[in-house]
C-alpha cells in the first residue's frame, strides 16, 4: 500500500465508472480520496517561486476582468423575479456585510477572547431543539453524518499569553491543547506565499483545517475526501465571519505547502491531511 502512495506521482490512476456513475475501485487500491489528495496537493517543488511563474501569474491577474466577464451558460431565460440587491444586503447583519479578506495586520496581539469567539463561530454547540433527540452535541456548522472529519490546529505567534507554538483546538473541551514549541512564524514565511514576511510578523497566527480520513471513510468511502473539502469550506467561511464579528483580519489560504505544514503539525502520514488554512491577526 505504501509503495502505491509513493509511486503515485505521475497523475491519478485511470478510473473505471460503473453504470450508476460510481467509480469502481480495483481491489487492493488505496482509498481514492487519498489518491485525489496526493495528486492535487501543492508540493514543495511548486513552492519555490521562479521568475517565469511570476510572469505567468501577472498575466493571469491582468486577464482577470475578461475571465469575470465570461458569460454564464444560461442567458436566454427571462428573469421572472428580480430582487432589490442593495436592500437585501442592507438587511443583513453588519458583520456579514463587512466580511473580507485581510492581508495587512497591525501587530496588536489578538486576545484569547477574540480567538475563542472566532473558533466558536465554527465549532460552538448549537441550540438544542427539544423536538429532536440528538445522540450527540451538534455544532453551529453542519457536518456530513454529524461525523466532524475536520480537526483544527493553531500555529500561534502573537496571541495574548500564549507562547509561540503548535496547538490543537479540542472542540469537545473547547480548549487549546499544546502540541509543540516551534518557530511557527518562520514556518509560515516559507510555506505560504500570500502574506509578505513583514505583514506576517504583525499577524497573530494561522488556523489549519485538517481532514481526518478514517473518521468518515467507513461511511462515505471514496466520497470522503470530497466531503472533507466541502466541510473545510464551511468551517473557513464561519471562521471568516467570526473574524469579521470580532473585528480582526483573516486571509483564507488554499495555496500552501501541504506536506510541509503536515510535518510542522506532526500529522499522521496518509491518514490526516491539511486542506485549507488562514492567517489571522488584528
Ligand X SMILES: Cc1cc2nc3c(=O)[nH]c(=O)nc-3n(C[C@H](O)[C@H](O)[C@H](O)COP(=O)(O)O)c2cc1C
Question: Residues 136 to 155: which contact ligand X by CB under 6 A?
Answer: none
Question: Residues 234 to 263: which contact ligand X by CB under 6 A?
Answer: 251-255
- CA 4 to mean position of chain CA atoms: 27
Enclosing H/E stretch for 227: helix 224-245
Provide, rounded to whole angstroms, the least separation between the CB of residue 56 and ligand X: 16
Provide, rounded to whole angstroms, the least separation between the CB of residue 227 and ligand X: 16
Strand partners, 156: 165, 205
Judged by DSSP in three states, 139 sits in strand
49 binds ligand X (CB under 6 A): no
Cα–Cα dist 176/157, whole Å: 14
> By C-beta, is 90 or 101 nearer to ligand X?
101
From the CB of residue 5, how many other CB atoms can be counted at a distance below 10 Å? 14
> By C-beta, is 193 or 223 nearer to ligand X?
193
> By C-beta, is 90 or 104 nearer to ligand X?
104
Cα–Cα dist 175/250, whole Å: 21
100 binds ligand X (CB under 6 A): yes
One of 49, 90, 97, 101 touching ligand X (CB under 6 A): 101
> By C-beta, is 99 or 164 nearer to ligand X?
99
Instruction: For residue 157, give the nearest of 97, 123, 199 by alpha carbon.
Output: 199
Provide, rounded to whole angstroms, the least separation between the CB of residue 229 and ligand X: 9
Provide, rounded to whole angstroms, the least separation between the CB of residue 233 and ligand X: 7
Question: Residues 173 to 202: which contact ligand X by CB under 6 A?
Answer: 194
Provide, rounded to whole angstroms, the least separation between the CB of residue 65 and ligand X: 14
Please tell me the count of residues contacting ligand X according to CB under 6 A. 8
Cα–Cα dist 204/211, whole Å: 23
Provide, rounded to whole angstroms, the least separation between the CB of residue 252 and ligand X: 4
- How far lies 63's CA from each of 27, 50, 55, 179, 216, in Å? 45, 20, 12, 44, 40
> By C-beta, is 78 or 85 nearer to ligand X?
85
Q: Where are the alpha helices (DSSP H) in 32-155?
A: 32-40, 44-47, 51-62, 64-68, 85-91, 94-97, 112-123
> By C-beta, is 162 or 208 nearer to ligand X?
208
Sites of contact with ligand X (CB under 6 A): 100-101, 194, 251-255
Amino acid at each position: 500500500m505504501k509503495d502505491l502512495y509513493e509511486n503515485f506521482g505521475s497523475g491519478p490512476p485511470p478510473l473505471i465508472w460503473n453504470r450508476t456513475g460510481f467509480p469502481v475501485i480495483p481491489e487492493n487500491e488505496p482509498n481514492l480520496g487519498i489518491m485525489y489528495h496526493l495528486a492535487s496537493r501543492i508540493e514543495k517543488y511548486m513552492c519555490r517561486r521562479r521568475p517565469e511563474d511570476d510572469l505567468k501569474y501577472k498575466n493571469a491577474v491582468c486577464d482577470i476582468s475578461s475571465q469575470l466577464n465570461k458569460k454564464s451558460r444560461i442567458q436566454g431565460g427571462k428573469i421572472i423575479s428580480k430582487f432589490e440587491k442593495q436592500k437585501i444586503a442592507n438587511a443583513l447583519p453588519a458583520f456579514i456585510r463587512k466580511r473580507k479578506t485581510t492581508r495587512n495586520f497591525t501587530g496588536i496581539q489578538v486576545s484569547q477572547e477574540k480567538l475563542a469567539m472566532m473558533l466558536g463561530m465554527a465549532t460552538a454547540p448549537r441550540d438544542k431543539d427539544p423536538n429532536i433527540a440528538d445522540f450527540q452535541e451538534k455544532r453551529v456548522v453542519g457536518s456530513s453524518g454529524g461525523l466532524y472529519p475536520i480537526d483544527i490546529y493553531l500555529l500561534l505567534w502573537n496571541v495574548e499569553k500564549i507562547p509561540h507554538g503548535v496547538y490543537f483546538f479540542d472542540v469537545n473541551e473547547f480548549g487549546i491543547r499544546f502540541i509543540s514549541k516551534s518557530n511557527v512564524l518562520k514556518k509560515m514565511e516559507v510555506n505560504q506565499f500570500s502574506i509578505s514576511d513583514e505583514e506576517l510578523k504583525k499577524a497573530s497566527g494561522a488556523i489549519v483545517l485538517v481532514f481526518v480520513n478514517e473518521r468518515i471513510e467507513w461511511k462515505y468511502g471514496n466520497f470522503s475526501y470530497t466531503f472533507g473539502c466541502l466541510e473545510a469550506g464551511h468551517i473557513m467561511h464561519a471562521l471568516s465571519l467570526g473574524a469579521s464579528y470580532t473585528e480582526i483580519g483573516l486571509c483564507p489560504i488554499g495555496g500552501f505547502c501541504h506536506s510541509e505544514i503536515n510535518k510542522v503539525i506532526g500529522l499522521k502520514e496518509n491518514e490526516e491531511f491539511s486542506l485549507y488554512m488562514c492567517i489571522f491577526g488584528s
